[in-house]
Structure 1
């Protein structure tokens, strides 16, 4: 009664937008970690660098799966359009 929203889905939509923003941020950090790993000579890649890259990948895949369960659709990334 006191806390009725005019749009009952507004809170859900806001959460979905924040989830999409988080997914894009994690994807950027994963791409950066991959580039850093490739920039270092392959024989000198230490275990910590490899672990950080895998951690960013797992974060991205977890958030991506969560977005798929919520049937979220994002926007096209600029890097996809350029290719």
Structure 2
């Protein structure tokens, strides 16, 4: 009775974390592609790419630490 709400809350936050990971990964790949395709990439573009990569890695490490189960489970728990 008392643990059921806790499990539902954990599942809800895990799903939100997985969505954030997907969003951060797509943002990072888009920034990386933009930086590669632009002929004269400036420092601001490089900084934005580094920030989006760091954000993705932070979320990914958090998912590994929390042992989140979902569509990235094999890559998150494998290490």
TM norm structure 1: 0.78
Task: Please state how far the C-alpha of 1:66 moved relative to its aligned partner.
Answer: 0.4
Aligned match of 2:33: 35
The structure with more helix, counted as a fraction of residues:
2
Computed over aligned residues only, the root mean square deviation of the Cα atoms, in angstroms, reads: 1.6
Note the 1:17-56 alignment, pairs <5 A: 17-41=15-39, 44-56=40-52
Question: Would you say how many aligned residue pairs link Structure 1 and Structure 2?
Answer: 71
- Unpaired runs of 5+ residues, structure 1, are 77-83
Bigger CA radius of gyration? 1
TM norm structure 2: 0.81
Give the Cα separation in 1 of the matches to 2:70 and 2:29: 18
